Amino acid sequence: MKAAAFYDVDGTLVSTNVVHTYAYYAVNVPSLRDKLKRTGGLVAALPFYAVADKVGRKFFNDIFYRNYAGMTEDRLHVLGEEMFEKMIRPRLFPTMLDLIKRSTDEGYRQVIVTGALDTIVKPLSAFLGIDDWVANRLEIVDGKATGRLEPPVLAGPAKALWVRQYMKQHGLDPDLCRAYADSSSDIPMLSAVGRPCAVNPDTQLKTAAHAHDWPVLLVGDKAKD
């Protein structure tokens, strides 16, 4: 293989995002009091998270993943697999599944580069037949999540750096490599490869895609007709 295809996950391969993921964990905590506290807190903080995401994806991650503090490691993994089956798998974009298949057939190495949690990405990658993946990992101390992410936190430029290092390590030609993402925070990652593609892009990414003549792929509800 001389080239790879790099995929973001949330909004690109699947219609869910990190908030959905946490919401699933929150409503599935065993204690009722904890459940109410976590789901209520999430709903109340949603406007704040929207603003935080505008400030920067890393800033958002730093704040958002604090919600996971106190959750046990084994529960995160068990629920991760359950969540994949119940929530992620039905929401995968069929167009992207077809694209991954064609891309694999064409000899591209399939790689997921995402800010989502490894507990979700692991079963997803197995299902999609992905060659390599990298995702954010929660810091675990004494079997419980601290609410912090293990460095390096994958977001924005950190994803681009990882992609560049990956291409170098595997002797891949950056001009031939592809990347797929939906958010303007992924512009650095898209810029690192020769063949970027914006999938259901947000406004800023759409503008960048038009400016650089990147292909724009609309999938799911955003696809025309």
Partner 1 sequence: MARPVPRITRDTNIEFIDERSGPRLVHYGTRFREVVLPRGTRVIHPNPPMEPLGNPLAAIRYALNHPIDADPLFAQLKPGMKLTIAMDDISLPLPMMVRPDLRETILTEILKLCGDYGVDDIHLIIATALHRRMTAAEIKRMVGNKIYNEYYPDRLYNHDAEDPDGIVELGVTERGERVRINRRCVESDLLIYLNINLVPMDGGHKSVTVGLTDYPSLKSHHNPHVMHQCHSYMDPRPEKSRLAKICDRMGKIVDQHMNVFHIETAVNNNMYGGPLQFLGKPEYEWNDFDRTKLQATNALLERMPEAARRKVFEQVPSPFGLIGVHAGKTEPVHAKILETCFAQYAVPVKGQADVVVCGIPFISPYNVNAPLNPLLIQVMALGYLFNMYRGVPLVRKGGALIIYHPCHEEFDRQFHPSYVEFYHRILAHGTNSYELEQYEESFARDPDYIQMYRKGNAYHGVHPFYMWYWGDAGRAHVGEVICVAPENERVPKQLGWKTARNFEMALDMAKDVVGKSDPDITMLKIPPILITDVEP
Closest distance of CB 69 from partner 1, Å: 40
The answer to whether 46 contacts partner 1 (rule: CB under 8 A) is: no
The answer to whether 178 contacts partner 1 (rule: CB under 8 A) is: yes
In degrees, rounded to 5, the angle at the alpha carbon of residue 214 between the alpha carbons of residues 211 and 220 is 115
Read off φ and ψ for residue 219, nearest 5 degrees. Answer: -130, 170
Q: Please report, for residues 116, 176, 211, the alpha-carbon distance to residue 141 in angstroms, rounded to integers and kept in the order given.
A: 20, 41, 46
Q: With CB under 8 A as the rule, give the number of residues binding partner 1.
A: 22
Choosing from 98, 124, 127, 162, the residue that interacts with partner 1 (CB under 8 A) is 98
Closest distance of CB 9 from partner 1, Å: 17
Based on CB atoms, which residue is closest to partner 1, 66 or 101? 101
Q: Which range touches partner 1 (CB under 8 A), out of 37-45, 103-111, 135-143, 159-167?
A: 103-111
Based on CB atoms, which residue is closest to partner 1, 16 or 110? 110
Looking at the DSSP bridge assignments, the partners of residue 149 are 138
The answer to whether 103 contacts partner 1 (rule: CB under 8 A) is: yes
The answer to whether 160 contacts partner 1 (rule: CB under 8 A) is: no
Question: Per-residue x/- marks for partner 1, 179-218, CB under 8 A?
Answer: ----------------x-x-----------xx--x-xxxx
The answer to whether 95 contacts partner 1 (rule: CB under 8 A) is: yes
Based on CB atoms, which residue is closest to partner 1, 42 or 177? 177
CB 216 within 8 A of CB 190: no
Q: Which of 180, 213, 172, 218 is nearest to 196 (CA)?
A: 180
Closest distance of CB 6 from partner 1, Å: 13
Contacts of 89-97 with C-beta under 8 Å, sequence gap 24+, read 89/127, 91/14, 91/15, 91/16, 92/13, 92/14, 93/13, 93/14, 93/15, 93/219, 93/220, 95/217, 95/219, 95/220, 95/223, 96/7, 96/12, 96/13, 96/180, 96/199, 96/219, 97/128
Place of tokens 């807190």: 41
Q: Which residues bind partner 1 (CB under 8 A)?
A: 5, 95, 98-99, 102-103, 106, 108, 178, 195, 197, 209-210, 213, 215-219, 223-225
